[in-house]
Structures are given as C-alpha cells and as structure tokens.
Structure 1
Amino acid sequence: MQSAAPSARQDPISRDIVLIGGGHSHVAVLRRFAMRPEPGVRLTLVCRDTHTPYSGMLPGYVAGHYDFDAVHIDLRRLAQAAGARFVRDEATGIDRQAHRVTFAHRPPLPYDKLSINIGSTPWVGQVAGAEDHAVAVKPIRAFRERWHELLTRLAERPAEKSAPLRLAVVGGGAGGVELMLAMQYRLRHELSSQGRDPDALQCALFTQSAEVLPTHNRRVRARFTRLLKARGVELHLNCQITRVEAGRLIDAQGQAFETDETVWVTQAGGAAWLEGTGLALNEQGFIRVNDYLQTISDPDIFAAGDIASQDGRPREKAGVFAVRQGRPLADNLRASLLDRSLSAYRPQRQWLALISSGDRYAVASRGLLSWAGAWLWRWKDRIDRRFMARFNELPAMTEKAPSQTGSRVPLDRDEQTQAISALAMRCGGCGAKVGASVLSRALAELTPIEHAEVLVGLADPDDAAVVRVPPGKAMVHSIDFFRAFIDDPYVFGQVAAHHALGDIFAMGAEAQTAMAVATVPPGLEAKVEDTLRQMMTGAVEVLDAAGCQLVGGHTGEGQELALGFAVNGLIDDLPERPMRKNGLRPGDALILTKPLGTGTLFAAQAQLAARGRWIDAALDSMCRSNRAGASCLQEHGARACTDVTGFGLLGHLVEMTRPSGVDAELRLSALPLLDGAEATVAAGIVSSLQPSNVRLRRAIRDQAGWRDHPRYGLLFDPQTAGGLLAGVAADRAEACLADLKALGYAEAAIIGRVVAADEDITDDPAPIRLHE
C-alpha cells in the first residue's frame, strides 16, 4: 500500500554542522551557506544570546550614537534565512568520541563537523576580588546589563548629591581606551542633560604597560595619550592592579584608588569548559588550529575568531581577523564533508584599525601610518552600517525546493540505502511507522516519572496502557496536536506538552498520564533518532514537572515534524464546583495570566519579520506552566476558567459568556501583550487561523468603531500554550493578581469584568463591549 505523493519532498539530512557561538566568523558562515546551500547538510547555531554585537560598533553604542538593533546581528533571523536551526543555550562540553555537544540542561546535540567561535573570556578570576567587584567587558550581555544599570542609577541619583562619580577602566589596549572614551562621553552627556555638572565624573585608566595602545605605532599612542589627558582621564601607566575591593582598586605597591564602577578589559583567555574537551590549547586557553582552521587535535573540529590560535601565525585579537576567517571557514567546513581538499587561511601582517574617541571622531592605524579626523568616523560609520546590512537586511523567506542534483555528501552503504528510501515514495498505513529500532533507541534515555496507578506503561511491551482510577476521583480527558513552528525539536517538545496540559489545568484537575502522537520526517536513521530524542526529552521534562506520566504513544513518518498528546487528568468525583467555562457571574473580574501575541509573532517569524528577542520572549511565555496559575485561581475562588489557545481571546471569552448567560467588558489598554505583537499586527502579519477567528467579530458591540484600534486584531490572535482566562470575584481579584505575579506570571492582568446580559438592547445584542 502506497501513500499519496507528498506536496514537496526535501533532501534528507545526511550530515550536521554545529556552530558553537555567534561570533563574526560564524555569521559569515551562515550567510555563505544561505547564498549556496549544500543539499543534505544541516547547520545548527548554538548561542546563549539571540542578538550578537558587532565589536566595531560597540563603543558607538555605549557612547549613544547607535541603538541596540543598529549594532546587533539577530542570530535567530539569520539562522532561519540560512535554513539553519537555532539553539538558544550555552555549550558546556564536547564528547569527541560520541561526536556530541553537551549542555547543562538539555540533551546532547550530535555533530559531524563542529566549529567554535565563542570569543575570549576575561580572566577576572586571576585578580583577587575582580570577579565580585568589577564588570568584565565580555560577555557583552553582562556588560550591557551593568552599563544600563549604571545609567539608571545616574538618572535616579538625587540632584543635590555632590559626590563625584568615579569610573575606572583596567586595560590600556584599543578596547580599554575606546570603551573609556565612549563611557565618558555618554556619562558627561547624561549629566549635562540632567542639569548637573559633567565634571562630577572622574575617570581613570589603569594599564601595566608603559604606554596606552602598546601594539600600535608611536603616532597613534601619542595621539591617544594627548586625547586622554585633554579629556581629564587620569592615566596610571606601569600600574598592575592586584586586588579589587568594594569601591577601590589596589596596585602591586599597595596604593589604593577609589572607584564607584570598575570595568575590566584585559587578561582574556579561553573559556574554562574547553579544558575538558581534550583539544590542544595554548597557554592562554585558546584553541590551537592549523592553517585550515582545523584544531590540531581533531580534524572534525574547527575554530575561528578570538578563541582560535593559529600555530605559527601569532596575531592580535582583532575583529578584522574573525570577519575574514568566515569565508575560508565556511568553505573548509563544506569541503571536509565532501572529502575535498581544504584551503589555507593566511592572516595579513598589517591591517587597518579605526579607533573611535567617544565623540564622532576616529583615528586610523595601519603599520607605521596614522590619520585622524571626523571624516574617518563617518567613513567608519558607513563601513560598519554596510557590514551590518549584510546580516540584518534579509529577504523574505520562500519555500525551498529540493535540489535537482541531490546531496554530494559521501555516504556509506547503509546510509545510501536509507537516503534512497527517504526520497522514495513512502508507504502509508502501518508502513509509515517509524522503525522499531530507531524508536527504541530514541526513547531509551527517557525516564518518565512513575505513578502507582499505572499498571502497564511505557516500559512494557504491550500495545495499550492500563491505568487505575483512584477511589473518589473522576477522569478528565483532553487531546492536542500540531506541527512544529520552530526548528529546535527540544523546545518544540516542551511547548507541545505545555499546550496539551493547559486544558487539564484549566478545569482544576491534576494531570496523571499522557499518550504521545509524533510525526517525524523520514531520513537517515541517526538523524530521525536524534530528532525524536530531542523532542521527547523536552516533552517528558514538562510532563514530569506536572506530575504526568508518559505511558505510551505512536510515532509515524510525515513531511513535517509534529507532536501531540492525549492527556488524562484526575479531579475529585462530583466536586463542589469545578472550574468550567459556564461559571461566570456579573461582577467578576476577568484575569488573564499570560500575554497575547504568539500567533502574529510566529507568522512574522516565518516571513523573517520578527526580531529574535520577540521570539525568545514568546517561547519563554509558552514554556511557563499553567499549573501554578490554575491552583492560584482556584484558591481565590475562581468559578470559571479556560486556557486561551487557537480561538484567540475573544473566541474563548465568548465560549464562557454564552453558557454563563452574561456579557463582558474588556479594556484594550489592559491586555498584556508580548513584545512586538502590536507591531507585527500593525504590519498586517497575522496567523493563518486569524481569518476564521475574525468571524466572531459580530460578538463585539459596535465592532466597526474599534477596527482601527492597534490592539483590535490581537483579540482574534490564536495562541499556542497561552495563558488562563478566569473569572474571579471582584473583591478577591487584586489579591489573586498579586499572588499570580509572585508565582512568576509577571504579565498577568485584570483585563475587564463580567456584567449582566443586557436583554433590552435589540439593535446590537453583542455580548462583548470594548473600552480603551
């Protein structure tokens, strides 16, 4: 028996390239593979931060010349444009024997070729107290947060406070000098704008070198020495800081220097976790690589940027090298998978460095040459903006057709058979099930919680589960299923489980057991196995946390990854008042526990029109369990509750008002929204389910008068793993809201109230009234 021909067949994944870190080299690799994809090869970018800063523009950002988006590359969008997966996490190790990247809180990620581009890490731990009392410039995210905290403290400082603000930078290289001048420029500007004396800012630069910028020529050093002194920056040369205490620095001679904020821009090395990989490292902990950017220890692992040290070619840690390594790194990763010869990368001996001076002025340095002027800053600005446009101005995505020539990746005999099978017409019916060996291996590492009531479960060979219902309990059943909307199967598994559990919690029940139904695209067994393992690990973690035991399921082949669960819950038999949709009463406050906007945001993501941080926040919200929220609502006497999912807020509210025989009022300004949702709706980007939901607009009284409101469209936005909507007595609503926020539902809000049905109105009997 054969299945119908699929609408589109993609090349099966044959090999995986995993990129650890979102540095300048890796963004170039992504762009190069986006321009020329390699059939059968999948890229996965692993990075803790979704937005990576361009180092050349960071001083301008600190000085206030650029906003956040101007200096950051959106890695999630870039990866999506390149057809790569994006994993927002931090690697903690490499299992080279098993070819897997390990993490602290998620399953390992297999690789065929691996590249590391994570930059350097300041060794603040080498100086006593520095880790506790100084902020390192890297990781940039931590520095950025501390910088904004400083700006906030300055803004909140009482105007009459006359004590000076003392700023210290430790490190006299280009990074330290640029950062000092940028911070000084911004802080003086902030003080002036607040009507304060900018001279209240006192700045000091500390370096153990005899001069600032010791790797640059004499003219450059002289220029910046004069500039620093002219700006009132105290220079402490030949000064080695040996201890950092709260509010002061101590040098090798025991002299103390008072400071309110210390920034560390020196003594960088490799990340500590690299020591456990067995890769050859130099004295500073950087990965030793050959001329092909391969590690000298392992031909399957590459490294680039500051984290790499090229044997026989010592060089300064400068962003220009990381940028120029991008192309040879991409080409060598591709060639290594195709068993082709690699190309050598030979860094130039001299390069042009453009060093900004805080204001819109820059100094050029190349070998023995130097220039300076505002025109150089403008030139640098044009170069930087042009560079950023290559990675942020991305075309809208189109459906990728399978390659005409097929994969060029060499496969062994078994892999060739599997690849041919994956591309061939697949069987339907029972022939579409995932192979037993693949399934058993994928599930072998799962260890779901166990309930005594489960008599036959996942560990048993039987075809059905057997579960005892405890005395005095009634069963609550629900089912949900949908296709993947993100490329990380682990996170998708988490979201799918949260979504399926929502109906159980909304009725005030506790989840007991779940049966999974999964669809996985065909391909090489190892790739299918890993996808299943990643997805089900994420799901089981969520089910376990909810006290819900996975007892079985079904897995089959399909063109798209999909997952769903049939969930059984328990509730007291004949409870006094279960939470249902028909329990609203006039006077109840309407409480929504999570923000709206997942539908429009993920529709925008599909068009590369959503910022990565918007998607991050949406996923964080979707992965917040409704279990504690439901318990809180019950404790505060909620009589009616539902989870807000596919029908949108309005659709689910109508499901509550109609059987309850009441009307409702909503305050649009009170609706909690995910970042970016209002912007994407305003751009006309909505979910494919939205038009069906909009048909319910007739439930809104005077709906024509609200069509142009910027939040109107979000009433119909379908939610995935959305929050709970409940009616709580008005006199308990504020206390309930406070408890919800204490439980982590930071965006929970009272969005309206329940009113008696207005039976006298005949011209517009719609039950939902809107207010600003």
Structure 2
Amino acid sequence: MNTAFPLTRDLVLIGGGHAHALVLKMWAMKPLAGARLTVINPAPSAPYSGMLPGFVAGHYTSDELYIDLIRIARAAGARIILGKAAHIDRAKKQVIVPDRAPIGYDVCSIDIGITSGMPELEGFTEHAVPAKPLDDFARIWEGFCQETGPAQVAVLGAGVAGAEVAMAAAHRLQHLGRAADVTLIDRSKALSRLGTQARSKVLKSLNELNVTLLEHANVLRVEADQVVVADRDPIPAKMTLGAAGTRAYEWLSNIGLAMEQGYIKVLPSLQSETDSDIFAVGDCAHLTHAPRPKAGVFAVREAPILFHNLRAALSGGAMQNYHPQSDYLKLVSLGGKIALAEKLGVAISGGAMWRWKDQIDRKFMDQFDALKPMGALELPEEFASGVEAHAGPICAGCGSKVGRGALARSALHQTGAQRDDVVTLKGDDAALLQMGDVKQVLSTDHLRAFTDDPVLMTRIAAVHALGDIWSMGAKPQSAMVSLILPRMSTALQERTLDEIMHTASDVMGEAGAQIIGGHTSMGAEFTIGFSVTGLASDTPITLGGAQVGDVLVLTKPIGTGVLLAAEMQIKARGADVAAAYASMARGVAIDALSLSTAQAMTDVTGFGLAGHLANICRASGVGAELNVRDVPLLNGALAMSETGVQSSLYPDNLSDALTMMNAPQTARGRLMLDPQTAGGLLAALSQADAKVAIATMKERGIDAIQIGKIVDGPVALNLIE
C-alpha cells in the first residue's frame, strides 16, 4: 500500500472478474493518492473464461487459465481479502464477509459474474457441477480427468458455452485414452443464438467428436450416475455439468438496488440506478441503456470506463459513459485446436481461427505477467560506506527482525540483577515470573505487516505472539495490543481499528486469553504486535531440557520467509502465498497440548528452523542432526529458493548458524535458515512420547513429523542433506 499520502477514501472491489482485474492493473500504473484499494475474492486467483474450453480440452494448464489476483494486488498496492461477500449494508456502507469484521467503503464496485447452478432441478445440487463459477468447475474437472476407466459425461444446456464444454470434454477424454460418452442436452433447440452458418459448423464438430445431442429434452432429475429425462432412457453420467440457466447470485437481490431479473441495473456510467456509490460490471450487471447478452467481451471493454469513473467518484471528477458495440466477434472453440469465428452472420472455422483465438487469449493474460516488482532504493551519487549493502527491500513479518548476532551483543542481552520473583531463562521463548506458587510466562512480539488485510495480519500476529506461550507449555492468560497505522483519516482509522480489534479479541478469546489494553499510533506503515502472558501449572517447558536420544518433531511446514519475499517481488504464485497465509494463521494450541511431554520445545520463527534448533542445542548442551529431506515445505518455497529468492534476514541467520554448522549447500538446505512467521512448534521428545504425540496430532488433522534427533558430542548442528 502506498502511504506517501494520508489515506482518506476506501474503494472496495467485490469479485476478481475480468473488469476488476484490468482495473487493478491500470491502478498499478496510475494509483490515486489518498485512496485505499481493497479487492475481495473467495480465491487468490480468478479463471479467465476465454481459455476455459481450451483448459477443459487440455490445451492449457491450470496456471495458464488463472489470473493471479495476489500478484496484481501487490503491484497495485491493494489489500486483498480472501473471502466471499454475502451482503452490502448500504446504510452503514459496509461489505459483509462471513467470519470477519465488516469492511467499510466509500465507493464499491461489484464484478462477481454469474452462476449456472440449477437448484430447482431435483438432484442438481447434490450430483451436478455448474460450469459457473468457473473456479470450482475447473478444479473438479481436473480431478475427474485424473481418474481411469470409461468416462460418461452429460452437459445440461446446448448454448454456445455448453457446446464448447461438451466438445472440449470429448476431445480431452479421447486423448487420455478413455472411452468417452458425452451427451449434450437442451430443453429446446441447440445453439439457437448462432447464425445458420455457425450453427451448422458447430453441429458438424459435435458429430465428429461423437457427442450425442439431445434437443427438446425434459430433464426430470440428476442422480449420482445418470440423468433422468422424460420419455427417454436415462443418460449414464459419472459427471453432470450444468451450462444452462445462468443467473445472478441471490444475495445481490437483498441489498435494495434496482434489479432486472436478479442483475443490478446500471446507468451508462456503470453506477447503480439506485446508489451512485455502487458500481457493477460484467455478467452481474444489466445495462439499462443498451442491454447485451452475457459475454466476457463487454466486461473487458467496460474496464477503462470503470477505472476512470471509480477515480472520479473518489475525487469529485466527471463521469464517462460506456457504449457497448452492437455486435461482437464470437470465437468458439471446437474441441481440438480448431475454432470458429462469427460476426455479422459470417462464420469461418479451422486451425487458423484457433491460432487467432489463442493469440488473443494469451495476449490478454500476458499483460498480467508484466508487473513491476518492488525494487531496491535508488542510491544518490554520494552515500556513506556500507549503504549499498543494506539498500535492498526489507522483508516483513519475522523477516524484518534484527539478527540473533546483533541481539546477543546488545544491551537487550543483559538481564541485570536477579530478583527472587523473576526467574531469568536466558535466551528462552518467554520470561518466567514466579509469585508464590503461581508461575507466569511473559513475552512480546511485533511484526511489520506483509499484507494490508488488517484481519489476516492481526490473526497471524496474534498466533505468532501466542507461540511463545504455547511453546513453554503454558495457558494464555492476557494480551495487550501494540499497533501502528499508516496515516489515514479518522473515518478510516475507525474502520481499520474495528477490523483489528474484532479479530484480536476472537483469536485471543479462542486461546483462552483476554485483551486487557494496548497502545495505538500512526506512522510510516502498518505494524502490529502483542504482549502476552500465560500461566504454567507445572514447570515450564524450556530450551534446556533436550536429552541425547530424543527425537525432533515439527508441527508446521516451513518456507514463509522465502514466499513472503517472493510475493513482495511479484514472483510467487498467489495460490502458494494464500496457503502460506493459512498456515501462519493456524494456531498451535492443540500441537502444544499433544507435545506436553516434550523435554524441550520452541516455536520456529525469525531465526529459522536451524537457528531455533541451535538454541535448543546451546541451552541443553547437546548436538543435533537435522534430516533436511524430512522437513515439510510449503508449496512453492523450494521453487523460490532454487531461483535464489531469500528473505532479507537470511544473511544474518546464516552468519549466526556458521558458528555451529557448515553452510547449507542446496536450495532445500538454505530453507532451514529461512525466517518463519507464526511457524510451528519444534520439540525434543523421547522416541516413545514422539510416536504418541505424532499419532495424536494426526487424529486432529495436524501433520506433525519427525525430522531429526538429539545426539551426544559437541554443541553443534549437523544438516543431513
């Protein structure tokens, strides 16, 4: 997020449709000072509809099909919220997303597409897959293609979309060597919106691919393995796809806007007829001045007008009007690498048309790959010695920590005079306060934000801080919040604080702790931290109890540091980043409970897995062997490490580690020094206790794993690669 100017207005984009994706790209090139941009979408990526038939046919991979919203949001300086909007409270100007605080807006735009679900058809919801939303359909189809044996597919709806899907499915299954039986079913005449020439060519392609066409068929119900049709034998179907009956999402009808058969009625400016602060584009909108069929071409053409008008609405500028073309080029995939082009009643088909369509689609997608990464600071002509070595971008999360070496040599390392009620555990995860029989642990953590979603960042920061309490076998008791917000107006401060405090209270409450206060201020960027206390009923688990022969157990995969660094540089896949977010947001209370018999334990954070294991070795006076290939990695982490991406804290972690181990020689080995944010727990247990703990966590859905062992000899760490 660009915080060079105070933030005063909130623009919220609901949905990652084609128009919104293009608006994000244009915003990256020309942001509006003072505007905070937010995009809400259920997934980190959005499929491009133009490539869907090619994806179904096997011509495109899933990576080629999807627009990576996390990467575009980073380039645009936008915060991305991974969730599904369920309502808009226009009176309070809030977007409601389940399981999080409401999201305030000044201007809102909706681009969520449509659905082809048919809940009124008996059995459809339980046994069929709607072609829209495309994201779910693409995922389920890919899984179906991994199966073996005969493939029976029924496609409901013989419009252009249904015919494309049926032909693509037949082509893909046949090329996989599976006996394919594809049936295309419609209640009326098939392909009725195509001209005579085009319809004839598509019908010919269906026949060549052995797709059975049933017209004027009355479907009675969908069952698990067949489609029941009136006056006909049941149609065998291991997969039933719905491509008919496209409709708007029901929640749109409950926000009090003027609607046309469930679609939002918009003016030429793309603003709602009812509310000038709400815009709608793409298939979910109805152009009252120029109604058009639902087609992606209109969403793409709307994007420049939407971009201009959203900026105008935020800054008081003049609106522009969108005038859709009366006719448009229709490009229809015909299964294989052939396509049909139709305009003004003239239709041409063949391989040249496929290459033309492929070129258009790839050009559209390529524009989202040419995104500008965050670069190093431009140095002036003269600068002090040493500046060049530290001028690169600073990572966020635990990647922005001060290195262990500097901490060990600083005044922070000095504990001062020992008091009777304070037990100093030098270098441990938390301080121990003893008041009579009461043992209280105390720790503090503060993170530089790596996402501008305050809810996600707050949840991760809270889990990160609680890790110190859980790792010592204590029960969380209380927490105080420490918060720095970027410069923003009073209204935006209130909105942001509501999101943060709702989340902080929820996370701490779930852990058994209570928020008892805190401190807020404004500064250059968003940072958040917590000071937490916990109560230990028995002797706390420390770093210093590991015994020779103990095995090492890890409860979360690693790789957050390299993935967050790659995300800042717009190199990581959005899906991998989203998975890393989910891992960081998962608490480790159950892990800690399962590891209550640990001899020594720590949470894996800024010093990396090897660095925190080294702390156990130092405190316990033992050595350790770490089996690098047994350590679970987050998706995408190894690929990023192999390309040379590293967190800005990595050099400090390496420098400290070299006092106890040899430098890692591989990309996987380097990840052992990758700084983690809200990482899992690392515990040393007896072999018997480790076996029980791993089994217990597996029953609870936690994939804990044994990654090494404690050994006799010098205090050293051996990476076995």
Q: TM-score, normalised by structure 2?
A: 0.89
CA contact (8 A) 1:700 1:770 kept: no
CA distance in 1, matches of 2:229, 2:267: 39
Counterpart mapping for 1:73-88 below 5 A: 73-88=67-82
Q: Which amino acid aligns with 1:396?
A: P
Q: Which amino acid aligns with 1:381?
A: D
**Could you tell me which of 298, 303, 322 is aligned with 1:345?**
322
Per-residue deviation, 1:9? 6.5
Q: Which amino acid aligns with 2:45?
A: H
CA contact (8 A) 2:471 2:592 kept: yes
CA distance in 1, matches of 2:232, 2:191: 25
Per-residue deviation, 1:252? 4.4
Q: Which amino acid aligns with 1:11?
A: F
- 2:465 aligns with 500
Per-residue deviation, 1:315? 1.4
- 1:119 aligns with 113
Q: Which amino acid aligns with 1:640?
A: A
CA distance in 2, matches of 1:310, 1:183: 33
CA distance in 2, matches of 1:180, 1:740: 44
- 1:721 aligns with 678
Per-residue deviation, 1:153? 2.7
CA distance in 2, matches of 1:580, 1:544: 25
CA distance in 2, matches of 1:368, 1:605: 47
Per-residue deviation, 1:530? 1.5
Counterpart mapping for 1:230-379 below 5 A: 230-253=208-231, 256-283=234-261, 285-379=262-356
User: Aligned pair in 2 of structure 1 residues 532, 61: CA closer, same or farther (>3 Å)?
Assistant: same
Q: Which amino acid aligns with 1:207?
A: D
2:175 matches 1:203: no
**Could you tell me which of 487, 501, 510 is aligned with 1:536?**
501
2:11 matches 1:33: no
**Could you tell me which of 550, 558, 564 is aligned with 2:529?**
564
- 2:402 aligns with none
CA contact (8 A) 1:166 1:201 kept: yes
Per-residue deviation, 1:398? 4.6
User: Aligned pair in 2 of structure 1 residues 282, 469: CA closer, same or farther (>3 Å)?
Assistant: farther
2:361 matches 1:384: yes
Q: Which amino acid aligns with 2:545?
A: G
- 2:669 aligns with 712
CA distance in 2, matches of 1:742, 1:147: 30
Counterpart mapping for 1:604-683 below 5 A: 604-634=566-596, 637-683=597-643
CA distance in 1, matches of 2:522, 2:291: 51
Counterpart mapping for 1:398-417 below 5 A: 398=375
CA distance in 2, matches of 1:306, 1:570: 55
- 1:459 aligns with none
User: Aligned pair in 2 of structure 1 residues 297, 9: CA closer, same or farther (>3 Å)?
Assistant: closer
- 1:733 aligns with 690
Q: Secondary structure in 1 aligned to 2:147?
A: helix
CA shift digits 1:22-74 (9 cap, x unpaired): 00111111122222211112211110011111101111112111112212110
Q: Which amino acid aligns with 2:635?
A: D
CA contact (8 A) 1:168 1:259 kept: yes
CA distance in 2, matches of 1:610, 1:219: 46
Q: Which amino acid aligns with 1:304?
A: V
- Structure 1, unaligned runs of 5 or more: 1-7, 158-163, 192-197, 402-467, 759-765
Q: Which amino acid aligns with 1:609?
A: K
**Could you tell me which of 126, 129, 133 is aligned with 1:135?**
129
Q: Which amino acid aligns with 1:346?
A: H
CA contact (8 A) 2:154 2:235 kept: no
CA distance in 1, matches of 2:607, 2:166: 53
CA contact (8 A) 1:248 1:258 kept: yes
CA contact (8 A) 1:187 1:201 kept: yes
2:54 matches 1:60: yes
- 2:400 aligns with none
User: Aligned pair in 2 of structure 1 residues 118, 238: CA closer, same or farther (>3 Å)?
Assistant: same
2:711 matches 1:755: yes
CA distance in 1, matches of 2:631, 2:604: 13
CA distance in 1, matches of 2:101, 2:369: 30
CA contact (8 A) 1:521 1:528 kept: no
* Alignment RMSD: 1.9
Identical counterparts, % of pairs: 41
CA contact (8 A) 2:188 2:215 kept: yes
Q: Secondary structure in 1 aligned to 2:697?
A: helix
CA distance in 2, matches of 1:332, 1:17: 12
- 1:424 aligns with none
- 2:11 aligns with 17
CA shift digits 1:301-330 (9 cap, x unpaired): 110000011114221111111111111111
CA distance in 2, matches of 1:92, 1:671: 39
Q: Secondary structure in 1 aligned to 2:184?
A: strand
CA contact (8 A) 1:281 1:288 kept: yes
- 1:178 aligns with 164
- 2:151 aligns with 165
User: Aligned pair in 2 of structure 1 residues 219, 569: CA closer, same or farther (>3 Å)?
Assistant: same
Per-residue deviation, 1:332? 1.2
CA distance in 2, matches of 1:610, 1:599: 12
Q: TM-score, normalised by structure 1?
A: 0.84
Per-residue deviation, 1:521? 2.1
Q: Which amino acid aligns with 2:718?
A: R
Q: Secondary structure in 1 aligned to 2:187?
A: coil
Per-residue deviation, 1:240? 2.9
- 2:487 aligns with 522
- 2:549 aligns with 587
User: Aligned pair in 2 of structure 1 residues 165, 389: CA closer, same or farther (>3 Å)?
Assistant: closer
CA distance in 2, matches of 1:77, 1:768: 37
Per-residue deviation, 1:612? 1.0
Q: Which amino acid aligns with 1:740?
A: M
CA distance in 2, matches of 1:36, 1:662: 57
Q: Secondary structure in 2 aligned to 1:360?
A: coil
2:93 matches 1:99: yes
CA contact (8 A) 1:588 1:729 kept: yes
User: Aligned pair in 2 of structure 1 residues 649, 469: CA closer, same or farther (>3 Å)?
Assistant: closer
User: Aligned pair in 2 of structure 1 residues 289, 253: CA closer, same or farther (>3 Å)?
Assistant: farther
Per-residue deviation, 1:500? 0.6
Per-residue deviation, 1:469? 9.8
Counterpart mapping for 1:141-152 below 5 A: 141-152=135-146
CA contact (8 A) 1:578 1:639 kept: no
CA contact (8 A) 1:73 1:392 kept: no
Q: Which amino acid aligns with 2:153?
A: L
- 1:548 aligns with 513
CA distance in 2, matches of 1:378, 1:700: 58
CA distance in 2, matches of 1:337, 1:22: 20
User: Aligned pair in 2 of structure 1 residues 321, 470: CA closer, same or farther (>3 Å)?
Assistant: farther
CA distance in 2, matches of 1:140, 1:149: 14
CA distance in 2, matches of 1:27, 1:79: 9
CA contact (8 A) 2:13 2:109 kept: yes
CA distance in 1, matches of 2:314, 2:501: 29
CA shift digits 1:497-521 (9 cap, x unpaired): 0011001000000000111111112
CA contact (8 A) 2:117 2:132 kept: no
Q: Secondary structure in 1 aligned to 2:19?
A: helix
Per-residue deviation, 1:126? 1.8
Q: Secondary structure in 2 aligned to 1:238?
A: coil
CA distance in 2, matches of 1:38, 1:698: 47
Q: Secondary structure in 1 aligned to 2:192?
A: coil
CA shift digits 1:173-195 (9 cap, x unpaired): 1111111111111111222xxxx
CA distance in 2, matches of 1:671, 1:257: 49
Per-residue deviation, 1:733? 2.4
